[in-house]
Amino acid sequence: MSSPLGRIIIYTKKTEEMVAFYCQHFGYEALRLEGDRIVELVSGETGMSILLHPLPVKRKEGQTLVKLVFDVEDVEAFCAEAEKRGLTFGAIHHGDGYSFANAKDPSKNSISVSSRAFAKR
């Protein structure tokens, strides 16, 4: 039986900065339910949600070994537009017919934009 991945939890001390970051740069919308401390970021395009959960006191930001990868057809163009909005990616890397670039979100989690999903295989 197959179960598709539906959401990812990111633990953070910077919930509002994270909401602004993912909404501004990746087109997510924030869903807040009364009495719930988790903010759900929803995407109408992918169906994949990001849950922003308050970071437990003894954990450090950026400590989890997870990287969010956002599929974009043109990595160079996306990075140029992101730069105009205040998000700077590192060098663009190329491999096996696709390219990718890396950055960090406000809680120091690794993120990447990649054209791998659009590569001709």
Number of residues in the chain: 121
Place of tokens 């990287």: 67
The letter for the amino acid at 81 is E
The pLDDT tens digits of the residues spanning 57-78 come to 777 776 665 788 898 999 999 9
- pLDDT of 4 strictly over 80: no
Does residue 2 fall inside a structural domain? no
Q: Residue 104 belongs to what H/E stretch? A: strand 98-104
Q: What is the mean pLDDT of residues 67-94?
A: 94
> Residue 105 and residue 3: Cα distance in Å, rounded?
28
Does residue 1 fall inside a structural domain? no
Three-state DSSP state, 24: helix
Side-by-side strand order, sheet with 67-71: 67-71, 110-114, 98-104, 93-95
Does residue 41 fall inside a structural domain? yes
- Residue 1: the pLDDT is 52
- Residue 47: the pLDDT is 75
Residue 59: which residues within 8 A CB-CB, separation 6 or more?
11
Of all residues in the chain, the percent with pLDDT exceeding 70 is 90
* CATH code where residue 49 lies: 3.10.180.10
- Residue 118: the pLDDT is 85
Pairing of strands 98-104, 29-32: unpaired
> Residue 11 and residue 47: Cα distance in Å, rounded?
20
Q: Write out the residue range of the structural domain in which residue 50 sits.
A: 7-55+62-118
pLDDT averaged over every residue in the chain: 86
Q: How many structural domains compose the chain?
A: 1
- Residue 107: the pLDDT is 87
Of all residues in the chain, the percent with pLDDT exceeding 90 is 46
